[in-house]
Structures are given as C-alpha cells and as structure tokens.
Amino acid sequence: MYFEPGKTKHNLPHDPFKSCVIPRPIGWISTLSADGIPNLAPFSQFQNLTFDPPYVMFSANQKTTGLRKDSAVNAEQTGEFVWNMATYELRESVNITGMEVAPDRDEFKLANLTKTTSHIVKPPRVAESPIHFECAYHSTTRLPGNGKMGSVDIIFGKVLVVHIDDDVLTKDGLVDVLKIRPIARLGYYDYTSIESVFQMEIPTENEGQRRELLRGLEGRPE
C-alpha cells in the first residue's frame, strides 16, 4: 500500500506514519516558567544534532486546545531546559508527566518524582533518572500544521553539562545501556526498551582514516 499524507487515504485503522519512524528516543524535558513553576513533560520527537559542541532538539506539537506546549514556551522565555533520560523503571512516571494539565501544575509532584538541583541552569533535574543534559536554549523553528495539534515548535538547545550516574558506567567507563534500559516510542500506544546491543565498525581504507572517523563518531578525546 501507499498513500500521500493529506491527499489520499491510507485506509488503515490508524495513521501509520509514526509507526514507520521507530524507535524514537524520548525527550523528558524539565523547565521552569517565567514565574518559577516547574514543568516536566515527555516528547517522543527528540534527538541529538551534533557533538562538538553538543546540541539537541525536541519537537513540541500544540496542545489539544491549540495552545503551545508549556515546555516550549518556558524554554524560550527562560533560555534553559534539562533533558532527563527516560528508563523502563521510570516508565509509569514518564507517562504521568505526559498528562495535559494547567501550566501552574507541577508534574514532578504529580508523578511523585524528586527534584535535584542543576549545576548551571535553573530548571531542576529528575533525581531518579540516571543521565541528564543541562541545556541553553538556542532557537525555535515553527512548522505550520493542520488542526489544533498539527503546528509544532522545534526547540534547539546547546548542551552545557552532562550528568551520568557512576552506577550506570561499566568498569571500562562506558555507558551501560543494558543496565539503564532506556525506553523509546513506537507508534500507537506502543513503547520499547533496549534489551540487546551489537557493534559494527564502518570500514575504512587506512588506519589514519579510521582514527579520524572514530574521532568524529565518538568525539574528540579530552
């Protein structure tokens, strides 16, 4: 089958588009409003953009009311946000913070999560999460869409601080993904978690090229 979004019908029970772009890492974003009210929300359209320096983005569709998401507004107004890693152990809390509530509701309290102070930015981190990025807001790209929820704010931020719990590092100093079990979004109401890992190294024509390629993939050594 094939269909043209917005032009022809797919004749399926649900739109399959999001189920084709999988798995999608979750941007569990904490912010503060201009009045200092904490906000925490998950976004399934999140990604890193580059590594030197590191930048990330999260994509926030509008609310069911047609208003912009609090996370996007807060990041723009205060210039800061924090990404918290969403894990299988925290899946229920992540889901609760996805509720559409009034801007003056604190989702940390709603999901019974603990706030911990960030080092540089003002928004708090989720203490129960094993990895966090403190980010400085860079810019917003807004894409128009259909209906109340179709338009989207793409928020870009520069990573200022990376926090990694020592407990999720291997003895070789690598992030232990299987111990963390990050969750990712699929389509519909479906999620997945990482339960297996395999390695592949891109072929190169000589050792010098290999070293440069690895430096580009893993970042420059400190």
* Boundaries of domain holding 196: 17-218
**Closest by Cα among 51, 75, 59 to 136:** 75
Each residue of 98-124: pLDDT tens digit?
A: 999 999 999 999 999 999 999 999 999
Residue 6 confidence (pLDDT) above 90: no
CB 145 within 8 A of CB 158: no
- The whole-number average pLDDT for the span 139-167 is 97
The pTM (predicted TM-score) of the whole model is: 0.93
Each residue of 127-137: pLDDT tens digit?
A: 999 999 999 99
Give the total number of structural domains in the chain: 1
Question: What CATH number is given to the structural domain containing 61?
Answer: 2.30.110.10
In a domain, 210, yes or no: yes
Tell me the CA distances in angstroms from 33 to 9, 70, 78, 207, one per residue in order.
41, 8, 7, 50
* pLDDT confidence band for 218 (50 / 70 / 90): low
In a domain, 6, yes or no: no
Percentage above 70 pLDDT, the chain: 97
* Amino acid (1-letter code) at residue 177: V
In a domain, 11, yes or no: no
